[in-house]
Structure 1
Amino acid sequence: MLQSAAQTYQTNQVTTATPSELTLMLYNGAIKFIKQAKSSLEDRNYAKTHEFCLKVQNILYELMSSLKKEYPISLEFDRMYEYMLRRTVEANIRKDIEILNEVEDLFVQFRDTWKEAMTLAKSQG
């Protein structure tokens, strides 16, 4: 029952979120899955590491597909997401925690900057 309530809450959170809130959720999800991948890697549970890396890759694909290509900044975001995707795949293949740390750091920077931009937009709106 508790699991069902949690899933309902999460579904409601996603369906009522603004596009900027959804992006923030994706960043937070990617960070969570990278942490889980690193933990699985430390436990030598390579199947779980692979599973969590795939979740990060799927988030990156979603972020890339949501970019509005008519804005020049989107090209820069796309390049960074593509780089992070390549590095995540490489970390998964090599089972390299340092690469996962690098990708996590990039996601944290994106998330923190995004949160700051959201706050600024709210204060100006």
Structure 2
Amino acid sequence: MTLQKPYQAYQNNAVNTASGGELTLMLYNGCLKFIKQAMKDVQEKNYENKNTNIQKAQAIIQELIVTLDQNADISKQIMPLYNYMYQRLMEANMKNDLDILEEVQGLVTEFRDTWKQVILLNRKKQYTQGGHV
């Protein structure tokens, strides 16, 4: 129990000091974690936990939808994909369908990997504009 407290403090500090881009990356990673666990739950026929984990993944997708900047042109392309992933998670939950979970996992992974590149490019841009190079 005492080991958890420093780790929880570290996690809380990481979230509290993260930039918006880093928070989005954390959301993608959390979503992937819950999808992977749901897949394991389906395989083990642990349907109660599967339901909980898919609902957690859906909650993250909802958060991504709510926080999407509607003024950005790219949002018009991202929103339908988020909605699609949310609907597919609902379907996977009803059908205990691993293929659908794998499909959504692939989409979330693509978003996450792209987002990582955006963060890296922004950091590089900030670094070079800051006169450090």
SS of the residue 2:68 aligns to? coil
Amino acid at match of 1:97: L
Alignment of 1:1-125 (within 5 A): 1-125=2-126
Amino acid at match of 2:81: M
Distance between the aligned counterparts of 1:39 and 1:6, measured in 2?
A: 25
Range 70-79 or range 35-44, more displaced: 70-79
The size of the alignment, in residue pairs, is 125
TM-score by length of 2: 0.91
Range 4-13 or range 22-31, more displaced: 4-13
SS of the residue 2:100 aligns to? helix
Range 4-13 or range 58-67, more displaced: 4-13
Amino acid at match of 2:59: N
Range 54-63 or range 66-75, more displaced: 66-75
Residue-by-residue CA offset, 1:11-52 (whole Å, 9 max, x unaligned): 111111000000000000011111000001100000000000
TM-score by length of 1: 0.97
Q: CA deviation at 1:3?
A: 1.9
Residue-by-residue CA offset, 1:38-70 (whole Å, 9 max, x unaligned): 001100000000000000000001000111111
CA RMSD, 1 decimal: 0.7
Structure 1 residue runs of 4 or more that deviate by more than 4 Å after TM superposition: none
Distance between the aligned counterparts of 1:21 and 1:115, measured in 2?
A: 9
Larger radius of gyration, structure 1 or 2? 2
Q: CA deviation at 1:10?
A: 1.0
Residue-by-residue CA offset, 1:64-98 (whole Å, 9 max, x unaligned): 01111111211211111000000000000000000
Distance between the aligned counterparts of 1:4 and 1:93, measured in 2?
A: 37
Range 6-15 or range 38-47, more displaced: 6-15
Q: Gaps spanning 5+ residues in structure 1: where?
A: none
SS of the residue 2:58 aligns to? helix
Range 66-75 or range 55-64, more displaced: 66-75
The equivalent of 2:129 in structure 1 is none
